[in-house]
Structure 1
């Protein structure tokens, strides 16, 4: 009801009468008024008078009813410990494919390699639950598809030259705009679910705790609509994985890469590997050419570019 009511209010520059709303929504004027009051309590500025209602402004908050085509899939929380933790529990309990958990604030946000993802106000923090019918060996195609679609979405929405650092961070120049985390569970080599957690620095300022990060607002000098950005990404990502073409995804990833052709150091808890990043394979693993021309395939780790003056 709220999404339909908002759609009608947004379709009119002038006031729309309660009677018209009642007729168009096939409900009572009391029900209309109750929903208006609820929307006002959520931050929607709606003028009400004897001539009807007029929507003056909307909060930039990703409430489920802001996604009318997927409202039942969206689960919004003002504050939770972690979208990844909540999504994992939902997935284990049988939630549908492409369920989305969104948090305004995470008290224990999860980053890669067990790091903390800081969730300052103004960012976008969400996890998507996927249920692809694939073997475990193909699972990395999905986070790579997500990074390609997110990079493309940010480029379209903000008009900036965003790039992808292996495996799936989104950068502007050398500064981090977005991070991604992938977790999965499987049964007998068949994927049960894949959860992709994404944090995007939209209107927050991450620099006090992450000096090498940036946000869309700091780049552009003005706020960016979080709801419209998330809506565009979800629609594009959903369409992409419905007819997933791994070769095309990997080629687009390469064309947007901030890593290939650079000398890099890949660090894991066990070791560090250095060399020139020359390719990614069909599963998204990074191929590095070491100084002795030996090719090393790297499956995971933190990727750091080695400045030219320090390269050996």
Structure 2
């Protein structure tokens, strides 16, 4: 109902009477008023007067009702420990494909190798629950697809030179603007679900504690609507998933990479490797040429350049 009220108020861009809203929504005027009050309490500046209601301003909101067509699949929390934790629980309970968990901020956001992901107010933090019909061996291609789509989205919307760093970080000018974390469970060698957690620094300032990080606000000197970024990414990523064009995703990823042909240090749970990143194979493993000339394949880890 909130989504429908906002749609009417935004499309009319004028005072809309309670009677008009009541007739359009087929609910009582009392019900309309209660929803208006709820929206006002959520930060929407809706002026109520004798002639009706006028929407003057909307917050930078990520409420489920802001994504009308996806509303039933979105779980929004102003604050939570980690969207990955909630998404894992939902996935194991059978939530549908393309369920999305969004947080205004996270108290225990995390990155790869259990590192902390700073999740202050103003950033975009969400996890996708995906159920692609693919072998578990090809699961990493989905995460590479997400990083390519996000890099393309950042480039298109904000005209920034977003590049990907193996495995799935996105940097601008050598500073990190986005990170991804994926988890998978499988049955009989087929994917049961893949959860992809994504953090994007939008209107927050991570550089206070992480000098090697940046945000859209720091890059452009103004704030941006997180809803627009999330909406465009979700639409494009879902479209690419539906076409099942995964076979060439690594070659697409290479078009945006800043990792290949560069000296890197890779840290895994057990080992540390240093060498030249010479290639990424069809399933996303990084191929390193070590100092002694041998090649080392690394399936997962953290990359330092």
Q: How does 1:228-239 map to 2 (within 5 A)?
A: 228-239=228-239
Taking the aligned partners of 1:269 and 1:158, their CA distance within structure 2 comes to 36
Q: Does 1:285 align with 2:301?
A: no
Q: SS where residue 246 of structure 1 aligns?
A: coil
Check the 8 A contact 1:246/1:282 in 2, yes or no: no
* 1:162-181 superposed matches below 5 A: 162-181=162-181
Could you tell me which residue of structure 2 aligns to residue 310 of structure 1? none
Alignment length (residue pairs): 305
TM value normalised by structure 2: 0.97
SS at match of 2:71: helix
| 2:83 equivalent in structure 1 | 83
2:31 alignment partner in structure 1: 31
**Pairwise CA RMSD:** 1.3
Matched, 1:63 2:60: no
Match of 2:204 in 1: 204
Confirm whether residue 45 of structure 1 aligns to residue 37 of structure 2.
no
State the 1:49 CA deviation: 1.2
Tell me the residue number matched to 1:126. 126
**CA–CA distance in 2 between the matches of 1:243 and 1:293?**
40
* Aligned mates of 2:245, 2:107 — CA distance in 1: 37
Distance in 2 (alpha carbons) for counterparts of 1:108 and 1:3: 30
- Cα displacement (A) at 1:111: 1.2
TM-score (norm 1): 0.94
* CA shift for structure 1 position 50: 1.7
2-structure distance, mates of 1:102, 1:111? 16
Q: Any idea what the Cα deviations from partners look like across 1:56-89, whole Å, max 9, x if unmatched? A: 0111120000000100000001111111111111
Runs (4+) of structure 1 moved beyond 4 Å?
none
Does structure 2 retain, via aligned residues, the 8 Å contact 1:78–1:103?
Answer: yes
Counterpart-to-counterpart distance in 2, 1:231 and 1:36: 24
Partners in 1 of 2:176 and 2:198 — Cα distance?
13
The residue that corresponds to 1:302 in the other structure is 302
